[in-house]
């Protein structure tokens, strides 16, 4: 034994964990509940057993919220659990992690449902990116359902109330029983063969899982997947899910919801048109009133009356100010007269001042002239000599130029004397 390498416990348990969890990613097990125990954190632990074996199970808080059945579960109840096998490495034990819980009475159908769902999901039948867009304003709709069922009446009632122009074609089919899958596939092919169909609605009312089982048929799911026309699945009630719901391009909870989905764009358009119509009528009425008002306001008679009124008003205002009696006040005559009087007084004063100044100046000139008068000088004993022709002899040189024997005059202050030059 010394020549062999022994594995550690951790390595062995880890290897077992990898193998088990890889092999049993999702199992469906039926058994009786025992040792049911909730934890303070919201988890649930219990044992699923039969007469020959027991299996530890755990339902964690998040999954417990999605499985309300756990709140009413008690020891001794028989249930079906779907989930993966997990190995708790620290203890070297394995347990089933419950993801979904069903009453045991539905176990076989649930098992088939889950297995087929997993198979089709792996093949990509439920991929979101493969789903076709539902037309916003479809003109022709093919409805696959029971011809006299309540689902059809619910659908038609909503469409008649809300839609405006849709053509609805009824393609009858069985929606319950063993012949339902073949009938539904046949109806789907007939709907595809009808010209100008924009969308196909497959619908029926709610029921038990057995009642809706025809809508979990693999051939029907594949036919819906391959249908080139968008398909709406409206099967059952809000809590009911069939494989047709997963593969369809759109899922509606009820037939009424499907009709509301298809008619909603038209309803919104109708509401917008009604809104626009109301506002358009209101605006047109306001415009009509405005035009009437303008027409009345600017009518020649109205304009003439308005002009007369303004002329009369102006005449009354003109009359009220008494222009003829306030002429001097309005044109400022008193002020002008006052300014003229002031100017006259100022001019007279300036003339008197100027005259006095000039008189004084004249008197000064007169005194100066009087002082410079030659007769005044001669009165002080002076005289001057002139030739007979009247030329004044102002110097001896001028006197020497006079010829001998010529007559000269001597001017005194009181007369003249005659002399002869030697």
Is 188 a residue whose pLDDT tops 90?
yes
Q: Which of 177-191, 260-274, 397-411 has the lowest mean pLDDT?
A: 397-411
Cα 63 to chain centroid, rounded: 43
Asked if residue 330 has pLDDT above 80, the reply is no
* pLDDT for the residue 1: 47
Residue 143 burial class via C-beta count within 10 angstroms: exposed 0-12, middle 13-18, buried 19 and up: buried
pLDDT at 293: 84
* pLDDT for 193: 93
Does the domain at residues 9-112 carry the CATH identifier 2.40.50.140? yes
Rounded Cα gap, residues 225 and 243, in angstroms: 11
Determine the pLDDT at residue 36.
Answer: 92
pLDDT tier at 300 (50, 70, 90 boundaries)?
Answer: confident
pLDDT of residue 174: 92
pLDDT at 299 exceeding the cut of 90: no
| Residue 167 reports pLDDT greater than 50 | yes
pLDDT of residue 328: 66
pLDDT in tens, 355-394: 999 999 999 988 888 777 777 777 777 777 888 777 877 7
What residue ranges do the domains of the chain occupy? 9-112, 136-267, 328-372, 376-420
The per-residue pLDDT for 327 is 65
Query: What pLDDT does residue 239 have?
Result: 66
The reported pLDDT for the residue numbered 324 is: 67
Residue 57 pLDDT:
94
Q: How confident is the model at residue 212 (pLDDT cuts 50, 70, 90)?
A: confident
Average pLDDT over residues 397-419: 79
Counted residue by residue, the chain has a size of 422
Task: Give 135: exposed, middle or buried? Use CB within 10 Å, 0-12, 13-18, 19+.
Answer: middle
pLDDT of residue 198: 93
> Could you tell me which CATH number the domain at 136-267 has?
3.40.50.10550
Mean pLDDT of the chain, nearest integer: 86
pLDDT digits (tens, 9 = 90+) for 117-139: 888 888 999 899 989 999 989 99
Cα–Cα distance between 78 and 315 in angstroms, integer?
111
Mean pLDDT of 9-17: 89
- Please, which pLDDT band fits residue 46 given cuts at 50, 70 and 90? very high
Whether residue 335 is predicted with pLDDT greater than 90 in this model: the reply is: no
Q: Is the pLDDT at 4 greater than 80, yes or no? A: no
Q: Say what the pLDDT of residue 55 is.
A: 92
Query: Residue 61: its pLDDT value, please?
Result: 92
User: Of 322 and 269, which is predicted with more confidence?
Assistant: 269
């Amino acid at each position: 034994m010394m020549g062999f390498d022994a594995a550690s416990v951790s390595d062995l348990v880890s290897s077992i964990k990898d193998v088990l969890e890889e092999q049993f990613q999702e199992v469906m097990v039926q058994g009786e509940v025992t040792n049911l125990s909730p934890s303070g954190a919201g988890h649930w632990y219990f044992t699923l057993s039969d007469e020959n074996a027991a299996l530890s199970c755990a339902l964690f808080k998040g999954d417990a919220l999605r499985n309300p059945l756990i709140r009413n579960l008690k020891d001794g109840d028989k249930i079906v659990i779907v989930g993966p096998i997990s190995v708790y490495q620290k203890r070297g034990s394995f347990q089933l992690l419950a993801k979904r819980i069903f009453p045991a009475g539905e176990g076989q159908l649930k098992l088939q449902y889950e297995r087929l769902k997993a198979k089709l999901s792996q093949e990509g039948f439920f991929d979101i990116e493969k789903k076709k867009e539902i037309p916003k304003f479809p003109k022709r709709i093919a409805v696959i359902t029971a011809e006299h069922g309540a689902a059809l009446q619910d659908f038609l009632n909503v469409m008649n109330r809300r839609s405006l122009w849709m053509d609805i074609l009824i393609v009858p089919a069985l929606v319950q029983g063993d012949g339902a899958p073949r009938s539904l596939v046949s109806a789907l092919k007939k709907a595809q063969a009808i010209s100008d169909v924009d969308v196909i609605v497959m619908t029926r009312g709610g029921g038990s899982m057995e009642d809706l089982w025809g809508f979990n048929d693999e051939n029907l799911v594949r036919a819906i997947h391959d249908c080139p026309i968008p398909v709406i699945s409206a099967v059952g009630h809000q809590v009911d899910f069939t494989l047709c719901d997963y593969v369809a391009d759109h899922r509606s909870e009820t037939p009424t919801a499907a009709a509301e989905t298809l008619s909603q764009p038209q309803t919104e358009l109708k509401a917008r048109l009604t809104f626009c119509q109301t506002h358009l009528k209101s605006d047109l009425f306001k415009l009509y009133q405005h035009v009437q008002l303008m027409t009345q306001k600017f009518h020649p008679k109205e304009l003439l009356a308005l002009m007369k009124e303004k002329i009369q008003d102006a005449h009354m205002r003109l009359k009220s100010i008494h222009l003829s009696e306030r002429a001097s006040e309005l044109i400022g005559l008193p002020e002008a007269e006052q300014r003229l009087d002031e100017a006259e007084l100022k001019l007279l004063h300036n003339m008197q001042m100027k005259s006095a100044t000039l008189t004084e100046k004249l008197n000064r000139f007169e005194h100066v002239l009087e002082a410079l008068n030659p007769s005044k000088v001669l009165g002080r004993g002076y005289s001057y000599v002139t030739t007979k022709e009247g030329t004044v002899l102002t110097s001896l040189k001028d006197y020497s130029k006079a010829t001998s024997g010529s007559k000269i005059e001597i001017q005194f202050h009181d007369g003249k004397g005659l002399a002869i030059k030697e």
